Amino acid sequence: MPGDSDTLGSSLFAGVCERPLLKGASALLAGSALPFAFAPVAWAWLAVIALAAFFVLVAQPSKRQALWSAYLFGLGYFGVGVSWVYISISEYGNGPLVAVPATAAFVSLLALFPWSAAYLVRRLRPEMDGVALWLGLPMAWVLSEWARTWFLTGFPWLFIGYSQVDTTLATVAPVFGVLGVSFLVALLAGGLAWVVLGPSLRRVAAAGGVLVAVLAGLQLLDREWTQPAAEPLDAALLQGNIGQGQKWDPDYRDVTLERYQALTEQQLGADIVIWPEAAIPMWYDQASEYLAGLETLADQAGTSLMVGVPVREANGRNYNAVVSLSDPSGFYYKRHLVPFGEYVPFRDMLGSALDVLGAPMSDFTPGREAPVLQAAGVPVGAFICYEAIFGAEVTELLPEAQLLVNISNDAWFGRSLGPLQHFQMVRMRAIETGRDLLRATNTGVTAAIGHEGKVIKRAPQFEVATLNVEVTPRTGATPYVRWRDWPVLGLIALGLGLLLVSRIRRHQRAGT
């Protein structure tokens, strides 16, 4: 790995962009451009370029200006990338007066993650040489992404690895997951930044050599990690297209139930019929008679039903659930809930003060287990909406599950970037696990995804639709299912640990 000690502050970039305001504007622009690497635009190459711009800005001589640029980059990145938060709160929550400060606070918090990556490397490698660009910054960036999987219950949205679902870099996902893909993108960005900061034939040749080595290594990983376990199944995915403003309106309940019943009766005879998240806008016990009638019809036709419905128990616990009406029947309770969407945090301290941001029916309780359901004689791993963005949690359903099912209600995203970004992350789950994946949503994106992440078939958004598709149950476990994120985290710990040791030794030598 290149490790020259050139003074990067005297580089081409520093000569072109010396003014703090111009550097700040460049950082904001680069961060704002990065979301276009993701769906729906999906300019995957832009992820390398935008992240390289971030690394260049972080490497400038002034530490203060570098960190300020890192924070502005984060503001642009998340300000554009999660702009759907404003739409969700404004249109389906409590209006612009709540949406503006809530979105601004959220984006400001998320912007601290790129800032923290920059701060860490500036501390460990103040000279910001080739080692910092090729090793420190890529690892610190991925570490900041991993921190977002658990910080304040987690928000792992827009990991740069997701931008590569349609590129050859995605072949690393079944082995090292989306964080492994993020590391490769960051590594290439580090090489590009290294060349930009000191352009020379030697640097171009070295960076080109690393690129060739990466591509050659990916070819070794391009293989089948799982195998077909049974004959293909015929599945029907229902998309009711119930408006978010109508979904929980009692006056609209009968229309909803009649729509899903009619769509289901048209698909009797399929192996599996799948409804979206909370397709039934009432408690499971309240809908028992309705569901019993559907179950009888489905059993007579040899069809398994999987339905999204909230469940309440006598002990006062409420769950967002997937119910399999097959024989045997089963329940999956959503384990990773959305703060302020499905429950109000700090309820014991704040009482009803934040109910304005809470769940539509009642606070939900997280499920504690990851049971595999049965449908059409196949073990099915189900997960609900927000859970799709937590790759390591989805692997808890594997390797027992031979088919994955994701149900969701993305209507609260509105006509924003959100649904397509969410769908892109679901595709990564199929790649990581080596399983075909069925996704039924209220307003879209409803689709079937092959075990390599390719879209088999997709329904149009914001329409009442039924998607008929054939999928194949699969068996076996990818390396990622077995290892999860531990290899990537171990590599990061080793790399940043070496930088820390080097920093300590240099400090000791300076003191003697």
| Lowest-pLDDT range of 40-54, 240-254, 359-373, 452-466 | 359-373
What are 378-402's pLDDT values in tens digits? 999 999 999 999 999 999 999 999 9
277 tagged catalytic:
yes
CA 99 – CA 243 distance, rounded (Å): 20
pLDDT of 244: 85
Q: Is 385 a catalytic residue?
A: yes
At 245, the pLDDT band (50, 70, 90 cuts) reads confident
Q: Stretch 320-324: mean pLDDT, rounded?
A: 96
What are 259-309's pLDDT values in tens digits? 999 999 999 999 999 999 999 999 999 999 999 999 999 999 999 999 999
Task: Indicate which residue of 334, 342, 393, 432 is catalytic.
Answer: 334
Q: What size, in residues, is the chain?
A: 512
* CA dist list (Å): 147 to 102, 152, 159, 179, 511: 21, 10, 11, 11, 34
Q: What is the mean pLDDT of residues 247-255?
A: 90
Q: Which residue in 385, 393, 432, 452 is the catalytic one? A: 385
Residue 334 annotated among the catalytic residues of the structure: yes
Place of tokens 């990556």: 117
* pLDDT for res 353: 46
* Banded model confidence at residue 11, pLDDT cuts 50, 70, 90: very low
Please check the confidence at residue 138 and state whether its pLDDT lies above 70.
Answer: yes
pLDDT 10s digits, 446-474: 999 999 999 999 999 999 999 999 999 99
- What are the structure tokens assigned to 243, written together? 């408006």
Helix (H) or strand (E) holding 74: helix 63-81
Confidence of residue 363 (pLDDT cuts 50, 70, 90): confident
Average pLDDT over residues 119-134: 94
Q: What is the CA radius of gyration of the chain?
A: 24
**How confident is the model at residue 350, as a pLDDT?**
54
Q: What is the pLDDT of residue 348?
A: 59
Average pLDDT, the chain: 91
Separation of alpha carbons 255 and 441, rounded Å: 17
pLDDT of residue 16: 44
pLDDT of 343:
79
Return all residues near 405 (Cβ < 8 A) that are at least 6 apart.
274, 306, 322, 375, 380, 381, 382, 383, 437, 438, 439, 440
Residue in 23, 247, 277, 452 annotated catalytic: 277
Count Cβ neighbours within 10 Å for each residue of 373-391 and write b for 16 or more, e otherwise.
bbbbebbbbbbbbbbbbbb
What is the spatial distance between Cα 295 and Cα 396, in angstroms, rounded to a whole number? 29
Task: With H, G, I as helix, E, B as strand and everything else as coil, classify residue 266.
Answer: coil
Give this prediction's pTM: 0.93
Q: For 316, phi and psi rounded to 5 degrees? A: 90, 0
